Amino acid sequence: MRSYEYYKPQTMQEAVGLMDRLEDAKFIAGGTDVMVLLRQKKLALKNLISLRNIGDLVYIDKKDGLKIGSATTHTEIVKDEFIKRFYSALNDATTHLGSRQIRNVATVGGNICNAAPSADTACPLLVLDAKVIIVGQKGEREVDIDDFFLGPNKIALERGEIVKGFHMPQFGDNTGSAYIKHTRRQAMDLPMIGIGARITIKIGKSEVRCRDALCTIDTISNVLARLQDEELEIEDARIAMGVVAPRPIRAKQAEAALKGKVVSEKLFREIGEIAATEAQPRDSIRGEAWYRKEMVKVLVRRALMRSIDRVIRPDDTIYPERLW
């Protein structure tokens, strides 16, 4: 392995200054991507600038929405009950990423900035309308996460800039979200397909919570069938798809088709079909394109069902896992 220097700045300004000054340098956070690339000799550089010791990059702030620092580890996100309840998709994604050893060091900022099409936290941040807060020599700027991904391993970050964090708006009880990672193994696998969804329903006179004991144990299909007369109207929806394009993308036509409609399983099935037309997966060792496309239909429906389930049954909710 080629030799390199290792810098440990304590503040954001110091880190940005180092990047400006040093040649052939790269930022490293948890290192679970960078260290592997170095070892595989796919990356050669003279300087590594560590973001692990900058306290200002580690925070989970729950005032007016949710603000997460870029150097926050996946383990810290998994543990957070507030995120599990109101930003469930993010909990889904971080819970099943890598192994415990990886989650203990890997950061959410690193996952996003590595910008793999399969990045697990990308779909949740896309459906949760995250803004990327970027710090550079000239100060702070904000980019919509949808504009942040440019391609495989390419992001809208100028040289010398770092991502400070991700800020998401506040969601109420009428919002549910989910992320489903489709893998061959249950652990330590990258997604063959990753689907994120969020549904916000209109708060009207309709009562959406469970009213009888049966509702709490029944399948969401049956619950939805029984709630049909309530006409739960979808106010806003997001669908994001991973590994179906060079970058994590939103299924915007499918999202538009959801808006203003009344929730039903039949509708979600149609939405899955629309989302599949927006997906352009390719053949790879993890799965063939035709299969991935078929699975988009299934997983979009499931992710939407899971999201609405979390609105209707938030308490016993989220877990234990039900059969969707």
Partner 1 sequence: MKKAITFTLNNEVIETEVDPKWTLLYLLREVLEMTGTKEGCGYGECGACTVIINGQAVDSCLYPVMEAEGRKITTIEGIMLKSGELDPIQQALVQNGAVQCGFCTPGMVMSAKALLDEKERPTEDDIKDSIAGNLCRCTGYVNIVDAIKSVAGGR
Chain residues that interact with partner 1, rule: CB under 8 A? 1-6, 8, 28, 31-32, 35-36, 39-40, 48, 50, 52, 75, 98-102, 104-105, 186-188
Please give the radius of gyration of the chain, using alpha carbons only, rounded to the nearest integer. 20
**Between 98 and 176, whose beta carbon lies closer to partner 1?**
98
* In the complex, minimum distance from the CB of residue 166 to partner 1, in angstroms, rounded to a whole number: 23
**Between 148 and 179, whose beta carbon lies closer to partner 1?**
179
**Between 271 and 318, whose beta carbon lies closer to partner 1?**
318
**Between 70 and 200, whose beta carbon lies closer to partner 1?**
70
Alpha carbon distance 173, 4 (integer Å): 50
Q: Which residues contact 44 (CB under 8 A, 6 or more apart)?
A: 2, 38
* In the complex, minimum distance from the CB of residue 39 to partner 1, in angstroms, rounded to a whole number: 6
Amino acid letter, residue 154:
K
- Pick the closest to residue 117 from 245, 278, 299, 285 (CA basis): 245
**Between 50 and 307, whose beta carbon lies closer to partner 1?**
50
Residue 292 tokens read as 């991935």
* In the complex, minimum distance from the CB of residue 276 to partner 1, in angstroms, rounded to a whole number: 31
* In the complex, minimum distance from the CB of residue 78 to partner 1, in angstroms, rounded to a whole number: 10
* In the complex, minimum distance from the CB of residue 215 to partner 1, in angstroms, rounded to a whole number: 25
Task: Tell me the CB-side half-sphere exposure of residue 67, using CA atoms within 13 A.
Answer: 12
* In the complex, minimum distance from the CB of residue 36 to partner 1, in angstroms, rounded to a whole number: 5
**Between 105 and 245, whose beta carbon lies closer to partner 1?**
105
Residues 300 and 272 sit within 8 Å (Cβ to Cβ): yes
Cβ atoms < 10 Å from Cβ of 169: 12
Q: Which residues contact 223 (CB under 8 A, 6 or more apart)?
A: 210, 215, 309, 312, 313
- Pick the closest to residue 277 from 307, 239, 306 (CA basis): 239
**Between 50 and 177, whose beta carbon lies closer to partner 1?**
50
Amino acid letter, residue 274:
I
* In the complex, minimum distance from the CB of residue 103 to partner 1, in angstroms, rounded to a whole number: 9
**Between 91 and 175, whose beta carbon lies closer to partner 1?**
91
Does an H or E element contain 163, and which? strand 162-168
Alpha carbon distance 264, 258 (integer Å): 11
* In the complex, minimum distance from the CB of residue 46 to partner 1, in angstroms, rounded to a whole number: 11
**Between 104 and 153, whose beta carbon lies closer to partner 1?**
104
* In the complex, minimum distance from the CB of residue 105 to partner 1, in angstroms, rounded to a whole number: 6
- Strand bridging mode 149-151 / 249-250: unpaired
* Distance between first and last Cα of the chain: 48
Peptide bond preceding 320: is omega within 30 degrees of 0, i.e. cis?
yes
Q: Is 69 exposed, middle or buried (0-12, 13-18, 19+ CB in 10 A)?
A: buried
Q: Which residues contact 3 (CB under 8 A, 6 or more apart)?
A: none
